């Protein structure tokens, strides 16, 4: 895509010019920075030229950030998408994942070092994605050997029988479904079977699965996670996006139609992750300042250590 000496493009979308001015100055040495206050222009820019990374504000008059990012995902799927918002809007958090499939959810006021690290990480991934896409285009995609006969399994981690019914109905024929009531069981199933999609509730009784979901994404980068939950906790959901790279949030009790769609997207995406390893980088998780494995049993911790997940 880019000449070796050309800087990657960073697109900033915010209706407050002082924000784009400030961020532009922060990134202008490393990036070719473009700015706009308007979502339509942003999508048009991403359509007409390679944009490695886009950072969009959420609350804007003409088009909301989630819609901007969804539009950019459609015209330029390899562009890494980050949402930057100053307002705790739960719908925006859920929409940014389910529709915008974002890489990071950033909050105003941001930490300068953190945003630098996130944008650099995003740009690295974008470079890989764009290069792989160009290669595939060039080689005209020689379809490799037919897909392996065994179809990826689906693992439900939740005690709720209603959730099991929902997942069972949404699971396509041929994909095995495993039901783990506890984290220990989930670990055993994960090491015994080829699992592609994890469906988990964030809270199971008193136990929180947040740490486990984050650790699992680290140890199994090709695992696609759907969080099925009643929980409406803004901070927790943001944490799950940035550190767990959750693929979809689905409200509980789930609607079977949308859930089946989510399940299909998750399975499709798992296939992409398997066949195009560079895509996995798109879901690199952010480091957590909280101990990931606190409160897990020794057995479970041993399991994660084998995969090199610690702290």
Partner 1 sequence: MSSSLRALLDAVPPLPVDMTLDAVTERFGEGGFDRMLSLAVVDEDRQPVGLISRHALMELLLNKYSRDLFGRRPIRYFMNTQPVIVSLADSTSSVISAVTTQMRIPIIEDFIFTEADGSYAGLGSVADVLKLVEQRLNQRNHALAQANQEIKASQAHLVQSEKMAALGQMVAGVAHEINTPLGYVGNNVQMAEEMLGKIHGLVAAYDSLFENLLNPAAEQTDVEAQIQAIAAMREEFDAVSDLADLNELFTDTRFGLKQISEIVLSLKNFARVDRAATDQVNLIENIETALTVGHHHLKNRVTVEKRFEPIPLVPCAPSQINQVLLNLLTNAAQAINHDKGRLLIRTYTRGEFVCISVEDNGSGIPPEHVSRIFEPFYTTKKIGEGTGLGLSISYRIIKDHGGDIRLATKPGVGTRFEISLPIKPLTNQPVHTDSSSDASGKQVADSIEVLQTQNTY
Point out which residues bind partner 1 (CB under 8 A): 15-16, 18-19, 21-23, 25-26, 59-61, 84, 86-88, 107-110, 112
Least Å distance, CB 112 to partner 1, is 4
Cβ closest to partner 1, residue 112 vs residue 150:
112
Cβ closest to partner 1, residue 109 vs residue 308:
109
- What's the token pair of residue 278? 């560079």
Cβ closest to partner 1, residue 62 vs residue 134:
62
3-class SS at 103?
coil
Cβ closest to partner 1, residue 234 vs residue 307:
234
Interatomic CA distance for residues 199 and 1, integer angstroms: 37
Least Å distance, CB 46 to partner 1, is 23
Cβ closest to partner 1, residue 90 vs residue 192:
90
Rg (CA), the chain: 20
Least Å distance, CB 84 to partner 1, is 8
- What's the token pair of residue 163? 């959730």
Least Å distance, CB 58 to partner 1, is 9
What residues have CB less than 8 Å from 95, skipping those under 6 apart? 66
Least Å distance, CB 152 to partner 1, is 38
DSSP string, 226-281: EEEE----HHHHHHHHHHH--SEEEESSPPHHHHHHHHHHHHHHHHHHHH-HHHHG
Q: How far is CA 264 from its chain centroid?
A: 16
53 sits in which H/E element:
strand 53-57
Least Å distance, CB 297 to partner 1, is 39
Cβ closest to partner 1, residue 21 vs residue 261:
21
Interatomic CA distance for residues 247 and 253, integer angstroms: 18
């Amino acid at each position: 895509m880019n000449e070796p000496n050309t800087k990657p493009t960073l697109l900033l979308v915010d209706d407050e010019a002082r924000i784009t001015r400030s961020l532009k100055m922060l990134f202008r040495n490393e990036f070719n920075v473009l700015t706009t206050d308007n979502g339509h222009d942003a999508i048009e820019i991403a359509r007409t030229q390679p944009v490695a990374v886009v950072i969009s504000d959420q609350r804007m008059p003409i088009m909301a950030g989630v819609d901007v990012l969804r539009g950019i995902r459609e015209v330029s799927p390899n562009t890494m998408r980050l949402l930057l918002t100053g307002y705790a809007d739960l719908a925006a958090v859920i929409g940014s994942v389910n529709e915008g499939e974002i890489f990071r959810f950033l909050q105003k006021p941001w930490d300068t070092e953190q945003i630098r690290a996130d944008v650099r990480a995003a740009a690295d991934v974008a470079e890989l994605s764009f290069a792989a896409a160009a290669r595939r285009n060039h080689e005209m995609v020689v379809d490799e050997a037919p897909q392996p006969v065994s179809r990826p399994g689906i693992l439900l981690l939740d005690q709720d029988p209603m959730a099991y019914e929902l997942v069972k109905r949404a699971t396509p024929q041929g994909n095995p479904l495993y039901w783990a009531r506890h984290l220990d069981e989930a670990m055993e199933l994960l090491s015994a079977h080829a699992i592609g999609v994890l469906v988990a509730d964030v809270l199971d009784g008193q136990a929180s699965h947040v740490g486990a979901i984050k650790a699992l994404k680290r140890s199994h980068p090709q695992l696609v996670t759907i969080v099925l939950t009643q929980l409406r906790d803004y901070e927790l959901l943001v944490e799950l996006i940035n550190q767990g790279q959750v693929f979809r949030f689905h409200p509980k009790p789930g609607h079977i139609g949308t859930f089946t769609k989510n399940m299909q997207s998750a399975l499709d995406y798992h296939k992409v992750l398997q066949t195009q390893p560079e895509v996995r980088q798109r879901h690199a998780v952010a480091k957590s300042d909280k101990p990931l494995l606190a409160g897990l049993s020794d057995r479970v911790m041993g399991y994660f250590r084998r995969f090199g997940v610690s702290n």
